[in-house]
Amino acid sequence: MIVSNRLPVDHVSGEGGDAVWRTSPGGLVAALEPVMRERDGVWIGWPGMPDVEFEPFEADGIELVPVQLSADEVEDYYEGFSNDTLWPLYHDVISPPSYHRQWWEAYQRVNRRFADAALAVAAPNAIVWVHDYQLQLVPKMLRDARPDLIIGFFNHIPFPPYGIYSQLPWRRQIVDGLLGADVVGFQRVADAGNFARAVRRLHGYETRGNLISIPLDEPQASADMRHTTTNRRGHRIRTVLARPFPISIDAQAYQKLAADPAIRARAAEIRAELGNPRVVMLGVDRLDYTKGIRHRLKAFGELLDDGVVSPEEVCLVQVASPSRERVDAYAQLRDEVEITVSRINGDYGQIGHAAIHYLHQGYPRNEMAALYLAADVMLVTALRDGMNLVAKEYVATRTDHDGVLILSEFAGAADELRQALLVNPHDIDGLKAAMLHAIQMPQRERARRMRALRRRVLSHDVQRWSATFLDTLVREDHNDPANQLDIPKRPLAAPGYGE
C-alpha cells in the first residue's frame, strides 16, 4: 500500500462530465506500477481538488483510494503547514517558515484521515509505504493501531540540521510520528544523519550507524512487534533503520524518448525557433524559491552585462512551472523572477533575439525530452533540493553523450553526479565561471563527463530505488549487511569555481 499526499493521477473531464483519470507520468508511478499490480496494491492519496468526493477506482491496474480535503483543509494542511511551515523549514529556512497552531491542528487531523483510510483496507501484515513531509505523523498512527503492519516512510525533501529543525514547536511529535516506521528513508547521507541527531537531542535514544534504538515499556515489549530485541543492558528495544535511498527516474523511458524521431525533430525545431544560437542554456523547475532561479538569472544577466556573451550567441530558456500559487512566498517569487526576466530582456535583448525565453507553463514529458535534447547546457542551481530529478532526466535523455550539466552542490543529486560542473549557487562569480566553462567546453570533455554521469543514472534508476527500499523494508534483520549503503564516497565540498 502506498500513502502519499497526491494520487498518481490527473483528473481530466471526460465526455458528459464524467470523471476521467489519467496516470501522471511521474517516476514514482512508473517504478511502483508493476509491484502494485503484482501484489494487489492500493494507493491512497488526495486527488488535488478541494471538496470533491470520489469513490475508490482503478487506473492502469492499480486500486486508488481518494482522500477528501475541504477547502479549509487545503488552506491549513496543504498550503499552510505543509508548504508554508515544513517546506521552508526543511529547505534551510530560505524563506521564513510560519508557525500557526491552527495549521498544526489541521495537519494532525488530515494525517489521521490518511492513516484511517489505510487502516480500513490494510490486510494483516500488509506493507505500507508512506511518502513525504505532508504525512509524517502517519507511521506512528498506523503502528499504534496495527503493530502487525510493515511500515516504511520515505522523505522526498531534505531533513534539516537540528539547529534549524528545533524551531518547530511540534518537533517532538513529528519525530515520534516518523519513528513509527520500521525504515525511514532519506535522500542523502546528511539527511539521515540530521534525523538521527534530532532523535538523540529530543529523546536521548541511542543511535549506532543507521540504527536507532527505542526503549520499549512493558506492554509494548510483550507484544509481538517486528524489530524488537534485547540490548546489552537487558532492556527490550525496538530498532528503526534510518538511512539514505537516493531516488531516481525511469531512465529507460527517457532513453526511449531520446530515440523517438518525432522528439528529435522537435528538438531541432526548438533550436531553429530560438534562432539557432551557438549555445542554448536551459532551466526547468517548479517556480519555487528553493530552486535558485533568481541566482541563475543574476549570473546570466551579468555575463551579458560584462559583454562576454551576446544574446545572438547564447540564449537561456527558463521553464518555470506554476506551483502553490496561493502561498504568498510563491506569488512574491513569481513577481521577482518576472521583473528580473523583463529587465534582462529589455536591457540586452535584440529584435529576434530575446536573451531569456521565460515560460510559466508545465509541459508534457515529450516536450521536456525535446528541450533536454535541444539544450547544450542544463542549469540546476537549487539553493536546497532533496534530489532534483531534472538533473537525472537531462542525463538519461542525452544518449548522444553531449550536453553539460551545471549542478548545485546543495541538490541531493550532487552526491551521485560528481562529473557535473558542481557549483555553489550563492557564489555568483563561481556560477558565471561555471557557465563560461560550460559554454566553452570542448566536445571531448563534454562526452567524457556525460558518459560517466550516464553510467550512474542508468545503473541507479527508480526501479532499483524502489526495489532496494522494499527489500530493506521486508528484511527481518535490521543488522543484515545487505542494508549497507550504495552511495559514492565523496569529498565534503566540491572544488569551487574561482577558489
In terms of C-beta density within 10 A (0-12 exposed, 13-18 middle, 19 or more buried), how is residue 23 classed? middle
Catalytic entry in 156, 227, 295, 478: 156
Q: Which of 324, 384, 456, 460 binds ligand G6P (CB under 6 A)?
A: 324
What are the b/e assignments for 152-190, b being 16+ CB within 10 Å? bbbbbbbbbebebbeebebbebbbbbbbbbbbbbbbbbb
Minimum Å gap between C-beta 148 and ligand G6P is: 28
Residues 20-39 that bind ligand G6P (CB under 6 A): none
Identity of the residue, 163 or 322, whose beta carbon is nearer to ligand G6P in the bound complex: 322
CB-based contacts of 13, cutoff 8 Å, min separation 6: 19, 20
**Cell 546489552 sits on residue:** 232
Active site residue 385: yes
CB-based contacts of 479, cutoff 8 Å, min separation 6: 211
Minimum Å gap between C-beta 323 and ligand G6P is: 6
269's grid cell: 525545431
Residues 154-173 that bind ligand G6P (CB under 6 A): 156-157
How many of the chain's residues bind ligand G6P (CB under 6 A)? 7
Minimum Å gap between C-beta 121 and ligand G6P is: 22
Minimum Å gap between C-beta 302 and ligand G6P is: 30
Identity of the residue, 5 or 397, whose beta carbon is nearer to ligand G6P in the bound complex: 5
Identity of the residue, 289 or 300, whose beta carbon is nearer to ligand G6P in the bound complex: 289
Q: Residue 226 — φ and ψ, nearest 5°?
A: -70, 155
Minimum Å gap between C-beta 389 and ligand G6P is: 8
* Site for ligand G6P contains 392 (CB under 6 A): no
The residue number with the shortest CB distance to ligand G6P is: 156
Whole-Å CA distances, 3 to 79, 180, 291, 428: 19, 15, 26, 40
Minimum Å gap between C-beta 47 and ligand G6P is: 12
Grouping H, G, I as helix, E, B as strand and the rest as coil, residue 415 is helix
Minimum Å gap between C-beta 87 and ligand G6P is: 8
437: part of which helix (H) or strand (E)?
A: helix 428-440
One symbol per residue from 119 to 148: x for binding ligand G6P (CB under 6 A), - otherwise; what is it? -------------x----------------
Active site residue 76: no
Q: Within 10 A of 12 (CB to CB), how many other CB atoms are there?
A: 9
Q: Which of 2, 3, 6, 431 binds ligand G6P (CB under 6 A)?
A: 6
Residues 56-85 that bind ligand G6P (CB under 6 A): none
* Site for ligand G6P contains 296 (CB under 6 A): no
Under DSSP, the state recorded for 496 is P
169's grid cell: 514547536
Under DSSP, the state recorded for 488 is -
* Site for ligand G6P contains 385 (CB under 6 A): no
Identity of the residue, 76 or 132, whose beta carbon is nearer to ligand G6P in the bound complex: 132
| Angstrom distance (rounded) from CA 102 to CA 460 | 42
Minimum Å gap between C-beta 185 and ligand G6P is: 13
Q: Which of 68, 220, 323, 366 binds ligand G6P (CB under 6 A)?
A: 323
Identity of the residue, 386 or 430, whose beta carbon is nearer to ligand G6P in the bound complex: 386
β-bridge mates for residue 321, sequence order: 286
**Cell 549503503 sits on residue:** 485
Minimum Å gap between C-beta 394 and ligand G6P is: 17
Identity of the residue, 33 or 376, whose beta carbon is nearer to ligand G6P in the bound complex: 33
Identity of the residue, 288 or 409, whose beta carbon is nearer to ligand G6P in the bound complex: 288
| Angstrom distance (rounded) from CA 115 to CA 44 | 9
Identity of the residue, 260 or 325, whose beta carbon is nearer to ligand G6P in the bound complex: 325
Identity of the residue, 90 or 300, whose beta carbon is nearer to ligand G6P in the bound complex: 90
In terms of C-beta density within 10 A (0-12 exposed, 13-18 middle, 19 or more buried), how is residue 14 classed? exposed
Grouping H, G, I as helix, E, B as strand and the rest as coil, residue 278 is coil
Cβ distance 91 to 114 under 8 Å? Answer: no
CA-atom Rg of the chain in angstroms: 23
Catalytic entry in 182, 288, 385, 461: 385
58: part of which helix (H) or strand (E)?
A: strand 57-59
Under DSSP, the state recorded for 275 is T
Query: Which residue ranges make up the site for ligand G6P (CB under 6 A)?
Result: 5-6, 132, 156-157, 323-324
User: Looking at the annotation, which residues are catalytic?
Assistant: 156, 385
